Chain A
Amino acid sequence: MGTVKFETCSRCGSVDVKNNVYIKRGEPMRIYVECAKCGSFIARYTLTKYTSDKPYESLLKNLRKERFLGSRSAAKIIEEFSVPVSEAFEHIKKLRETLKEKRKVEEIIVELEKT
């Protein structure tokens, strides 16, 4: 089971954030997370896959770069996408409420890499 937590500003502790989505042709999409309260930089994500509220269209965009060895691996990815993102989103929210994750994101990443 994974873990979930709110992105938190290390300067003011706020969990209100703004996502600056940076898109440049030929480069992976990058998200610069900004604190909505104090405007500080919080984190940067480099995206490999983007899913909007229209998952099938997102899937098609992702698949345009793909090559599959066999149809089973393709079918698995498509199956994952067929679960509505909204459902997964609700699950993640519940998980956050239950886990009350206290560690920093980088700490979680390091721990996961170790295991």
Chain B
Amino acid sequence: MKKWLFIGIALLLAVLVYFAPFEGLTEPARRTFSILVIAAVLWISEAIPLYVTSFVIAFLEVVLLKNVLDVSYKVYLHPFFDPIIVLFLGGFVLSRALNKYGIDERITRAILSKTGNSPKKILFGMMLVSAFLSMWMSNTATAALMMTVAITIINTLPEKEPFKIGLVLGIPFACNIGGMATPIGTPPNAIAISSLANLGITISFIKWMMLALPIVIVILLITWWLLSSIYKSKIKNIAYSMEKLPPVGIKDKWVVAIFIITVILWLTGQIHGIPTGVVALIPVIAFIGGGFINRDDFRSLGWDILILMGGGLSLGVAMQQSGLASWMVERLNVGGLASPLIVILIFSSVTVAMTTFISNTSTAALVLPIAITMGVAPSAMALVTAFSASIAMILPISTPPNAIAYGSGLVSVKDMAKTGFTVTLVSILIVTGTSVLLMRLFGYM
């Protein structure tokens, strides 16, 4: 019932927007505006599965814009196999191989064995590993792995030990933060890169990391400090042991080798000139062709996420082609009204508010095409919007890692909201301030 109500609202708003007396809005732009409104309502309400909304977008674009724009319908379908989607596919395969061969678990143990046994150091180690793995793997998979380790540690602690809460909260927070660091860390990053590419602005893999990594490190350190101060432990050392892992096999070594080669090629794109999307085919070919990953693994790679991203990109293309984007630049040109920093801060806050309640990919797919048309440095707006889409720390429903941590029964909604709100506020300020600073430094503003 609710589903049909939202579908009805989407259609009604689309019609209202179409007939609204917007000055200077051409017929194609008007139709695209209606599609944007339908996408917004469906993505926010989740009345139909998120990825189905992407198909709806593609369908409406082809049908409604065919006769009013001199553009091939293929233009709206290309984004579904955009190089950034292939990059993500490569990332998914890499992530699956790291997980299947237990490389993620070995990395976890290697880092934790070096960080020491005091609660503060354990929390630091756990957050560091969570953030590092989230840079390359799915945030959900990372959170699930790290929670398994956390449970082992927690089982050795007395019942009313506050450190337990800090540890359980630290994992999802670090996973969300870590995802910002690489283009493949989380879908919003990819949507930002692709949206900017449509404007002719290229951000390479290494450039993204140079911009994102300092921000990630600062937010991670502050979050760690906050958690270890709020959930202080009286215990000096925690003795815990983990099950022994099987010896490293030849296949494990191959997985690591292919992972390293892929990452090096991603980072050195400007030297060898092979696009990141093409490099991403290396793990796909090597792992699937080499039998490391089977058909079932391939089928369960997260195709729905790729389709959702494709829908966001396709919407961005339609906005550009129809002139809706440039109309927005003219009408919503807030760059001349307020300082860029204020505009970026407002956009960051709006994105965070949205991502707290809806999927970060949907948030980015909706906000990014609008953010880059605000008349303020589009690269800064894209970067900040993508980062802000990952600042979802307040509620268990904000991100899958939060839900996983909450599912342990060790933290309450109040615990997460209280700490998450502080982390969110700090993150907004850091993301906004540092992004602007770094973008100026790298000549994007």
Report which A residues bind B (CB closer than 8 A): 26-28, 56-57, 59-72, 74-75, 78, 81-82
Contact = CB atoms under 8 A, between A and B. Distances in A.
A60 B308 contact: no
B403 A71 contact: yes
Interface string B385-399: 000000010001111
Q: Is the interface of B mostly helix, strand, loop or mixed?
A: helix
A66 B140 contact: yes
Q: Which of B50, B51, B292 has the most CB of A within 10 A?
A: B50
A60 B147 contact: yes
B80 interface: no
B159 to A, nearest CB: 17
B145 interface: yes
25 contacts: A26-B294, A56-B408, A56-B409, A57-B148, A57-B151, A60-B145, A60-B147, A63-B140, A64-B145, A65-B141, A65-B300, A67-B138, A67-B302, A68-B400, A69-B51, A70-B46, A71-B359, A71-B397, A71-B400, A71-B402, A72-B359, A72-B397, A74-B400, A81-B407, A82-B407
A29 B383 CA distance: 43
Contacts of B294: 26-27
B138 to A, nearest CB: 5
Contacts of A67: 92, 138, 140-141, 301-302, 305
B119 to A, nearest CB: 22
Nearest to B104: A64
A65 B99 contact: yes
A70 B357 CA distance: 10
B296 A28 contact: yes
B99 A61 contact: no
Nearest to B304: A69
A85 B396 CA distance: 22
B361 interface: yes
**Chain B interface size range:** 35 or more
B439 interface: no
Given A60-B147, A61-B148, A65-B300, A70 B362 contact: yes
A54 to B, nearest CB: 9
A69 B312 CA distance: 13
Contacts of A61: 144, 148
B404 interface: yes
A60 B404 contact: yes
A27 B292 CA distance: 11
B109 interface: no
B30 interface: no
Given A71-B359, A72-B46, A78 B403 contact: yes
B397 A65 contact: no
A73 to B, nearest CB: 8
A112 to B, nearest CB: 22
Contact of B406 (A62, A63, A68, A78): A78
Nearest to A82: B407
Contact of B141 (A63, A71, A72): A63
A67 B392 CA distance: 17
A25 to B, nearest CB: 8
B96 interface: yes
A3 B414 CA distance: 40
Contact of A56 (B51, B399, B407): B407
Contacts of A28: 296
Contacts of B392: 71
